Amino acid sequence: MTMHQPIAGTVFPPDTLETMAALYPRAAGLLHHRLPDHPLLSIEALAALAESLPAAQVEYNPGDVPIGIAPEDLPSNGLTIAETIRTIDVNRSWAVLKNIESDPAYRALLMDLLGELQPVVEPRTGAMLTPQGFIFVSSPGSITPFHFDPEHNILLQLRGTKVMHVWPSGDERFAHRREHERYHTGGHRNLPWDDGYRGAAQQVPLVPGDAVLMPVMAPHFVANGDAPSISLSITWRSEWSYRESEAHAANAWLRRLGLNPAMPPRWPDHARVKTVGWRIARRLRLVH
């Protein structure tokens, strides 16, 4: 990843980089940020951005949904994305703007923030690959259902409050290997939910100025507080995270052949042998 030189240390304070050095990439935890009120992150700017993005880069629905829900059961809120953002205070909705790096101004902001993290990230997981940014705009009381994501991620809370409920990555009690295999062969991010999971959650309450470090594929759901919320997610991939994805996809293929492959190893181990086989099989067009 090539980055222009950020103004060093302006957003993530030294104690946050120390915390991150202890946690990354295995564990979730509370961090802090000093991202000020930024003109690109006002409601009006976000509504304009949302209107300018292709439909595939916006997703929104009513926010008062159950913690566990299948994607096909999510209803529409009956509004446009711009209306959803402009009236987020009262419309009981949840919205995400995806891949905001497709807009040059937002890409510059994303790269500045990721640049500050490079000294912590690169000694542990190597080059920061595939920088992506996501902005979540959500109404009081809304829920982001139980799911997992393939990126290394820090979510910065900018406005309003929320509680991140997160479970350990790679623990099959909360996301079985078959769920990983399903996801990495084109399935949706949402996961099956069981109320019995609650007791094992790590809860990270977030107010403006807080951020949360999220490990790759850690199951989570998010509950908004009683004010409208804006959060910025800054994400990257690593060679390790791509290998892990490929290993799960390879396992899905092995399972279709009647085998029961093991979970791929967690960082710092790589699933080398299996993914080499997977890459060869793909090249030979044995799998898709």
Provide the binding-site residues for Fe ion, judged by CB under 5 A: 149
Which residue number is nearest to Fe ion in terms of Cβ? 149
Could you tell me the smallest distance in angstroms from the CB atom of residue 147 to Fe ion?
6
Give 103 or 149: the residue with its C-beta nearer to Fe ion.
Answer: 149
Could you tell me the smallest distance in angstroms from the CB atom of residue 246 to Fe ion?
21
Give 100 or 250: the residue with its C-beta nearer to Fe ion.
Answer: 100
Which residue shows structure tokens 């946690």? 23
**Which residues make beta-bridge pairs with 204?**
164
Give 7 or 56: the residue with its C-beta nearer to Fe ion.
Answer: 56
Cβ atoms of 201 and 166 within 8 Å: the answer is yes
Could you tell me the smallest distance in angstroms from the CB atom of residue 86 to Fe ion?
24
DSSP letter assigned to residue 169? T
Give 222 or 250: the residue with its C-beta nearer to Fe ion.
Answer: 222
Give 150 or 261: the residue with its C-beta nearer to Fe ion.
Answer: 150
Could you tell me the smallest distance in angstroms from the CB atom of residue 164 to Fe ion?
9
Q: How far is 8 from 187, CA to CA, in rounded Å?
A: 39
Q: How far is 234 from 116, CA to CA, in rounded Å?
A: 12
Could you tell me the smallest distance in angstroms from the CB atom of residue 261 to Fe ion?
26
Greatest CA span in the chain, whole angstroms?
A: 55
Cβ atoms of 234 and 110 within 8 Å: the answer is yes
Which residue shows structure tokens 């304070």? 13
Could you tell me the smallest distance in angstroms from the CB atom of residue 221 to Fe ion?
9
3-state secondary structure of 78: coil
DSSP string, 124-140: HH-S-EEEEEEEEEE-T
Could you tell me the smallest distance in angstroms from the CB atom of residue 256 to Fe ion?
28
3-state helix, strand, coil in the chain (%, to 5): 35, 25, 40
Give 149 or 210: the residue with its C-beta nearer to Fe ion.
Answer: 149
The phi, psi pair for 203, rounded to 5°, reads -105, 125
One-letter amino acid identity for 3?
A: M
Give 20 or 212: the residue with its C-beta nearer to Fe ion.
Answer: 212
